[in-house]
Amino acid sequence: MISIQLSEETTTQPLSNNLFCLIRKDILSGTIKSGIKLTEQSICEKYNVSRTPVREALRQLESEGLIENIPNRGAFVIGLNNRDISDMFELRRIAEVQAIEWAIDRMSDEVIDSLEETFEFMEFYTLKNDIDKVLSINTTFHGILYKATGNKMLQQMLTSYQVYLKHSAPPSYISDDYLTTILAEHKAIFEAVKSKNIAAGKNAMDYHIVQTKLRRMSNYF
């Protein structure tokens, strides 16, 4: 069996949380299929860890509804189905629209400058056709808006949605105009923020999330 070493990046967090993140990613991406039984021994072997962090990682997975502990049988993977993913996109859309309203209303000029710098990086790497870098910057862009809401619960919820959708709904293909398309969508969001136009910001964000869902769900329906 192939073992997976925890990277230096992940080891900055408690081992049980790193292990939870790795297993969660594998469940969401389908690497670990729904219905599979997870045992402490199999987890230790696959992820090259001791038994100590495994129980806590399993507890976290159960609390997020990704596994089910059946008495006298063990822990079984539930994962997400198509409806779960579609519903999550809709919940994210509603939350993102609320977030952009609060962010525009509450953010400082310094935060707007930070968002502008982030958008300029997105423009630069779009021209270089660097998909991985643009997607990473995209996460940063939205993260700035989440934090600018000043609402920690909304920030946590949206960050969680991003993680789930990133791993559970990968694009089936990348079109030639993919990067320029998402750049244009983020430009509309940024310009609304810069002009402090809440209505335009909500419309731009709503359109962006709807289009994101259409792009990402094409390999599910």
DSSP secondary structure of 149-178 = TT-HHHHHHHHHHHHHHHHHS--S---TTH
Look at residue 7 in the predicted model and tell me its pLDDT. 40
Look at residue 135 in the predicted model and tell me its pLDDT. 92
Residue 2 within any structural domain of the chain: no
**CATH, residue 90:** 1.20.120.530
Q: Residue 77: phi, psi to the nearest 5? A: -75, 135
Residue 184 within any structural domain of the chain: yes
Domain that holds residue 145: 82-219
Look at residue 173 in the predicted model and tell me its pLDDT. 58
**Same domain for 167 and 95?**
yes
**Same domain for 112 and 20?**
no
Look at residue 72 in the predicted model and tell me its pLDDT. 87
Provide the sign of the torsion angle of the four alpha carbons 45, 46, 49, 51, taken in this order: negative
Look at residue 172 in the predicted model and tell me its pLDDT. 57
Residue 179 within any structural domain of the chain: yes
Residues (pLDDT < 70) of the chain are 1-14, 169-173, 219-221
Residue 5 within any structural domain of the chain: no
**Same domain for 57 and 109?**
no
**Same domain for 72 and 86?**
no
**Same domain for 89 and 72?**
no
Look at residue 221 in the predicted model and tell me its pLDDT. 39
Look at residue 38 in the predicted model and tell me its pLDDT. 93
Cα Rg of the chain, angstroms: 19
Residue 3 within any structural domain of the chain: no
**Same domain for 111 and 206?**
yes
Distance separating alpha carbons of residues 154 and 95, to the nearest angstrom: 7
Write down which residue in 59, 77, 95 finishes a domain: 77
**Same domain for 112 and 195?**
yes
Residue 46 within any structural domain of the chain: yes
Residues 149-191: tens digit of each pLDDT: 999 999 999 999 998 998 886 665 578 899 999 999 999 999 9
Look at residue 138 in the predicted model and tell me its pLDDT. 96
**Same domain for 134 and 214?**
yes
**CATH, residue 35:** 1.10.10.10
